[in-house]
Amino acid sequence: MYEVENDTIYCYAGTDVLINKLDIKDAAELANFEAEITSQRAQEPIPEGDLDYAHYCALHKHLFQDVYDWAGEPRKIRIGKGGNWFCFPEHIGAEMTKLFSSLKKQNNFAGLTKAEFAKRLAHFLAELNAIHPFREGNGRTQLSFLGLIAEQAGHPLDFERIEPDKILIAIVESFVGDEARLRRAIADLIQVQG
């Protein structure tokens, strides 16, 4: 659950339940619906794009279009987890533009060894997570997008091997600058070629 500063934009009054297209006001029911529908959307063809900020937003919109009117739009409020605040909304556009510009300058991590690819992808994920551009759905969008980067870079990821608890710990550690566990987790997901 996110820590939020007075969310009168995204939540039903007096609750922490996000306003949604089905008008579901029970948090558990909404979480179940969201998980089911985004899983279905993830099986569909992903929107094409240039692995840039616009493409990232299009991916979020694709995954969450059935749940939230604001799918694909950067959040307008401050959120955090565990006492740590993510990028303030007024800086999201600039930080995302900078991050995706860096990705493009690095040729979307194509042509790298497995170890170097894991290192750069871990850093990219750590930065992307610290920005946390959306009110909800950042993790699912991050994983889908990492899959696109990895596929195009020639280092496809096997998400069947993902261990959510380990990834969560690695993400939390990366938030304070320690990317070692995240780098190892990504390296472990890279499919063996040949």
Q: Is residue 194 part of a domain?
A: no
In this structure, what token pair is assigned to residue 162? 């993902």
* Residues in Cβ contact with 176 at an 8 Å cutoff, skipping those fewer than 6 apart: 84
Residue 192's pLDDT band (cuts 50, 70, 90): confident
Q: Is residue 82 part of a domain?
A: yes
d(C-alpha 64, C-alpha 96), whole Å: 20
Q: Is residue 159 part of a domain?
A: yes
Helix (H) or strand (E) holding 4: strand 3-4
d(C-alpha 103, C-alpha 122), whole Å: 12
Task: State the average pLDDT over residues 171-189.
Answer: 95
Task: State the average pLDDT over residues 144-163.
Answer: 95
168 is in which domain, residue-wise?
3-189
Q: Is the pLDDT confidence value at 194 over 60? A: no
Distance of CA 58 to the CA centre of its chain: 12
Mean pLDDT taken over the chain: 95
Q: Is residue 61 part of a domain?
A: yes
d(C-alpha 123, C-alpha 144), whole Å: 16
Model pLDDT, residue 1 = 66
Q: Is residue 35 part of a domain?
A: yes
Q: Is 118 left (phi over 0), alpha (psi -120 to 50) or beta?
A: alpha
pLDDT, tens only, 57-98: 999 999 999 999 999 999 999 999 988 899 999 999 999 999
Q: Is residue 150 part of a domain?
A: yes
Number of domains the chain contains: 1
Task: State the average pLDDT over residues 119-132.
Answer: 98
CATH number for the domain harbouring residue 184: 1.10.3290.10
Amino acid at 79: I
In this structure, what token pair is assigned to residue 101? 């510009």
